[in-house]
Chains A and B, each alone.
Chain A
Amino acid sequence: MTALLYILAALVILLALGWLARFVGQKATGNKPLFRDMPLAVAFGYVLGAAIVIAGIWYYFQPVTTEQGTPDAGVTFFHWAVHGFILAAIAAFLFRLLGRHVGTAGSKKLFRHMPLTAAFGILVIILYAFTAIFAGVLAPYGQEEVFAQVNALPGGDASVGGNPDHPLGTDQIGRDLMSRLIYGAQNTVGIAFATTLIAFLLGGSLGFLAATIQGWLDQVLSRVVDVLMAIPSLIFALLLMTIASAWAGSQQWLLTVYMVVIIAVIDSTRVFRLARAVGMNIVVMDYIEAAKLRGEGLGYLIFREILPNATAPLLAEFGLRFCFVFLTIAALSFLGVGIQPPLADWGTMVRDLAQFINFAAFSPLTAALPIMAAGAIALLTVAVNFVVDWMLQKSSGLKE
């Protein structure tokens, strides 16, 4: 309660400071339009922003250890966050610079008007793809390999219960966490990607089919999709997973396959909607009419006439759909009904490591383990969203 009062008092003081800053600015610049027309709210915003930045800088230079000699976890996390942010910004900047000077004329032009967020997104996607493909080479151990030392602390310091062989420690049954984190890229991202592909093949082809043939087929498919979309997707997935777990019995890997099929079908309804809408706009074009009069078949119409003209919106949708699928799979795994062990997967890891968060005051790195696994999921979806946001903005030609 007192904390709230302090915050309130600080805000009032900042408001006064904002008024003062505007007043000083008006006097000092001889009533320049910038200061003359500035509303009080904007002045307050500037002062608030400055206060936050100053507080951040002050906090950054606090000592990393407390008086008792234990690490100050808050400051440590803040350091990691600031360093991570700066490193990411530099990496994105360098990557954009590289893109502007290397490659074909088309790709150079693409990079010239790219915002930093989009460059960062592309860089992260490339890194994830690299990790996923070469997980077997990058990971120090196998994902199912069990070692003698269980619950080794991360950091590799043998005096406090770590092990130099396992830089991020081991889990409850002695599997190397770093290897599992790396293999997680292969399993989680790979399965999500495959699921999205199936959803697109299914939803896309049915959507185009409905748009081209129309009539009763369109009616039936659209009504079925309407019904399936009326149930929230995560809820529906959980319901179907209950049934799938009964079908799979004791064969765990079968459950993962069922999950891929279930999520692909649920998400294909969303793809169907878009593909049908885009297709409907294309089939009324004159060139489709011409192709029909030429006597072209259904396959030619869909693959040679409609598909090339629908690539741009479908590509953006693919990115967004991948995020949804990825998040759904992660959520299911987190809830314990998604990707099944022994496959390493980030959602399951978050659930298994969640208790470590309570050790933040003693060992910040240990507490960071569940955040790392969850952050690995978040980072990829954020990256894809940055890229899709930029693509949509570019294709819609929005300047404002």
Chain B
Amino acid sequence: MNAVLKIILQRLALGVLTLFIVSIVIFLAVNMLPGDFAEAILGQGATPEAVAAIRRDLGLDQPLVVRYWDWLSGVLQGDLGNSFAQANFSAFVGSESGGNAGVAQQIAPRFANTMFLAGVTACIAVPLAVGLGVLAALYRNSAFDKAANVFTLSSISSPEFFLAYVLILFLAVLNPMLPSLSNIYPDMGIAERLQKTLLPALTLTLVVTAHMMRMTRAAIINLLASPYIEMARLKGVKPLRIITHHALPNALAPIINVIALNLAYLITGVVVVEVVFVYPGIGQLFVDSVKIRDIPVVQACCLIFAAAYILLNLLADILSILSNPRLRHKR
């Protein structure tokens, strides 16, 4: 058990290191902007005094390393800085300068919404994908397997918005069963919330299920070629029992890996889908901020997405170590 702990600690340390370096990359990328934030906020008619004032306000007159350290320590304490758009707005209205325009307050509810969407998607997609993958492996090279192959390949390679609009056309416009706009409020009942989330969740399910199902199928078929499966077959064990009792326990590691990887993929897919359905999640906020060049929000969203991506990959790594006895006991 000690060896496992060591491997896991190693992976964890590596993950934290990656996260740290990624934060540096994001910070440096943002600092490649021409001119600086102050000029960007004030526009062309800015007086030098105003620029200097804002620069001091935002701490832009500090050297790069100090600013990075300030930003990082702020992020670690949950302070993601102030949004430009909000700061602009509050200055315009005449309230105290950027007092409560925190990026964190803006992101927190949207982050919860996105997690809800991802959670609903995972609840539908994971059992569906694993079940269909096992079936496809069981009846490989049958008509079902070939049809599933063509279908999954098509749905993987279609852009998310194509699937989204096809679903809108059939499930919202022609047969008005589900709303095509997912406007979600904080004080909404769970049933109504679920109904409004279902269409974006279904779109994501189509993309993710296809991936997961193909990988599950490949993982199981890979195992079915091994000698101990051959032995079970010769013994006269039924095909379904071979899969559930002999193949699945050993295929668990790759399947868990596949699920975690696809949840990581979900993180990227969520951006486009949220924009299509006007779902108030973090992806939509990200795209909106990119368009108006609201740097602190872009920076924060990017960091959150990257962190989620890295953490899920890390989780996949650790779970596959834990679930595979051959990785635990080194020869």
The chain A residues found within 8 Å of chain B, CB to CB, are 3, 39, 42, 45, 49, 73-74, 77, 117, 226-228, 230-236, 238-243, 245-247, 323, 327, 330-331, 334-337, 347, 350, 354, 357-358, 360-361, 367, 370-371, 374-375, 377-378, 381-382, 384-386, 389, 400
Contact = CB atoms under 8 A, between A and B. Distances in A.
B173 A357 contact: yes
Nearest 10 interchain pairs by C-beta = A374-B162, A378-B158, A381-B157, A385-B157, A235-B305, A232-B268, A360-B173, A378-B162, A234-B268, A231-B306
A381 B299 CA distance: 31
B161 interface: yes
Given A227-B25, A246-B33, A400-B141, A370 B165 contact: yes
Given A227-B18, A378-B162, A232 B295 contact: no
5 contacts: A230-B310, A327-B159, A337-B290, A357-B169, A385-B153
A239 B286 CA distance: 9
Contact of A377 (B40, B162, B267, B289): B162
A357 B199 CA distance: 15
Interface in B178-217: none
Interface of B is mostly: helix
Interface string B260-294: 00001001100110011000000000110111010
Interface in B11-53: 18, 21-22, 25-26, 29-30, 32-35, 40
Nearest to B143: A49
B29 A239 contact: yes
B5 to A, nearest CB: 24
Contacts of B9: none
Contact of B161 (A239, A331, A360): A331
A231 B29 CA distance: 13
A350 B139 CA distance: 39
Contacts of A117: 150
A228 B140 CA distance: 38
A374 B159 CA distance: 8
A240 B162 CA distance: 25
B302 interface: yes
Contacts of A385: 153-154, 156-157
A259 to B, nearest CB: 13
Interface in B108-141: 139-141
Contacts of A49: 143-144
A335 B29 contact: no
Contact of A371 (B166, B289, B301): B166
Band of interface residues on B: 35 or more
Contact of A243 (B29, B272, B305): B29
Contact of B302 (A239, A334, A360, A361): A239
Contacts of B173: 357-358, 360-361, 367
B221 A400 contact: yes
B159 A243 contact: no
Given A239-B30, A385-B154, 6 more contacts: A232-B305, A239-B299, A350-B165, A360-B174, A377-B158, A382-B158
B255 interface: no
B202 to A, nearest CB: 14
A367 B150 contact: no
B159 A330 contact: yes
Given A230-B18, A246-B40, A239 B26 contact: yes
B293 A246 contact: yes
Which of A77, A230, A330, A386 has the most CB atoms of chain B within a 10 A radius of its CB? Answer: A230
Contacts of B154: 378, 382, 385
B232 interface: no
Contacts of B18: 226-227, 230
A346 B261 CA distance: 29
A226 B21 CA distance: 10
A400 B271 contact: no
